[in-house]
Amino acid sequence: MHENRNMKIFSTGSALLLAAGLVFTAQQATAKTVKVHMVAKETEIAIDNKGTKYPAWTFDGTVPGQVVRVTEGDVVDFELVNPKENKNSHSIDFHAAEVDVLGEFAPVKPGETKHFKFTAKRAGVWMYHCGAPTMAQHIARGMYGVIIVDPKEGYSKKFPKPDREYVLVQGQYFPNAEDKAAMIENRGWAGALINGKMFHYDPVHDPDASLVLQAKPGERVRIYFVNANINMPVAFHAIAGIWDRVYLNGNPENALEDMATYNVAVSEAVIADIVSPADRPTNNAIVDHTMSAAMRGAITVLMNKPDADADAGKGDNILPR
């Protein structure tokens, strides 16, 4: 009798342990290790559509740097190379990482390489940037980007699957790339950069612009927006539209609905969804409603038209260059 009862307890416990083991194994199986490699490049880039050159500091030669995209729970296996030809130390600060500012995020001298791993434990959209001193200058000169950590639960009623996705990163343009004090004190900035260029996707205000964002009427367009300004918040607004959802920090748990304008703090990242009328072609202008930024570059045209490019805003095309 006694023995039997013990046997029963033992076998129930084993079953529980086995079940826990299976769940653990399933989670281990879905979590991936994602290798991310970046090279700090001090190089000239074009800061407008006609090709005006600017002595930028970049990740991999582009502003913003590559879009890093992982799923909640994944391990990011990261390497930053600072080639010996560079004149400055550089670093990386992933807002999605919970590590040591004096360790993983410490500056890397020219000729050195930094390698570390972190687990992307929290879903959302996060800025990354160089944090080497003087940080204001390293960010102003172009060392920033976005890491998207997709929720492991996937899509739901609360977080619907988008039809198109676009990354927009706003920055401030300081023509005098050497004047660190001006950057810190917010003096002398002459333009607003969207993905590295003033009026990047706005042929209405800049005849040299050749790109726009596009979607079909009625589609859900998901914007991953990062404020990489040095000192200015962004009044994020879609002219002739309403944000159907705004997810603070890009987390499905932090949903706002029916928003005209959302104020994005410096370094903040959000998801903003817009759904255009399905019954006719329309256009939106996605702007920083702060006029000093809008009129100097922070306007992006979204065309909602039946013949929208089938590949636009999908897969690797979420950041048009």
Q: Which of residues 97-136 bind Cu ion (CB under 5 A)?
A: 130, 132
Q: Which of 41, 69, 90, 114 binds Cu ion (CB under 5 A)?
A: 90
Residue 90 or residue 197: which is nearer to Cu ion going by CB? 90
Q: What's the burial of 159, exposed, middle or buried (CB within 10 Å: 0-12/13-18/19+)?
A: buried
- Judged by CB under 5 A, does residue 138 bind Cu ion? yes
The answer to whether the Cα torsion of 255, 260, 263, 264 is positive or negative is: positive
DSSP letter assigned to residue 90: B
Nearest approach, Cβ of residue 138 and Cu ion (Å): 4
Q: Which stretch binds Cu ion (CB under 5 A): 48-56, 141-149, 247-255, 297-305?
A: 141-149
Nearest approach, Cβ of residue 135 and Cu ion (Å): 8
What is the pairing mode between strands 213-215 and 299-304? Answer: parallel
Nearest approach, Cβ of residue 34 and Cu ion (Å): 23
Give the DSSP per-residue string, 49-85.
Answer: TT--EEEEEEETTBSS-PPEEEETTPEEEEEEEE-TT
- Judged by CB under 5 A, does residue 141 bind Cu ion? no
Nearest approach, Cβ of residue 287 and Cu ion (Å): 29
Instruction: Report the distance separating Cα 224 and Cα 176, nearest Å.
Output: 29
Instruction: Report the distance separating Cα 42 and Cα 56, nearest Å.
Output: 6
Nearest approach, Cβ of residue 164 and Cu ion (Å): 32
Q: Which stretch binds Cu ion (CB under 5 A): 137-145, 213-221, 283-291, 305-313?
A: 137-145
- Judged by CB under 5 A, does residue 143 bind Cu ion? yes
Residue 143 or residue 198: which is nearer to Cu ion going by CB? 143
**Taking the CB of residue 309, how many other CB atoms lie within 10 A of it?**
13
Q: Which residue is nearest to Cu ion (CB)?
A: 130
Q: Please, how many CA atoms are within 13 Å of residue 288, restricted to the half-sphere of its CB?
A: 31
Nearest approach, Cβ of residue 41 and Cu ion (Å): 10
Residue 132 or residue 272: which is nearer to Cu ion going by CB? 132
- Judged by CB under 5 A, does residue 81 bind Cu ion? no
Instruction: Report the distance separating Cα 2 and Cα 25, nearest Å.
Output: 34
User: Do residues 277 and 218 make contact, with C-beta atoms less than 8 angstroms apart?
Assistant: yes
Identify residue 187 by its one-letter amino acid code: R
- Judged by CB under 5 A, does residue 230 bind Cu ion? no
Q: How far apart are the first and last CA of the chain?
A: 75
How many residues interact with Cu ion (rule CB under 5 A)?
5
Q: Which stretch binds Cu ion (CB under 5 A): 96-104, 121-129, 143-151, 171-179?
A: 143-151
User: Which stretches of the chain bind Cu ion, using CB under 5 A?
Assistant: 90, 130, 132, 138, 143
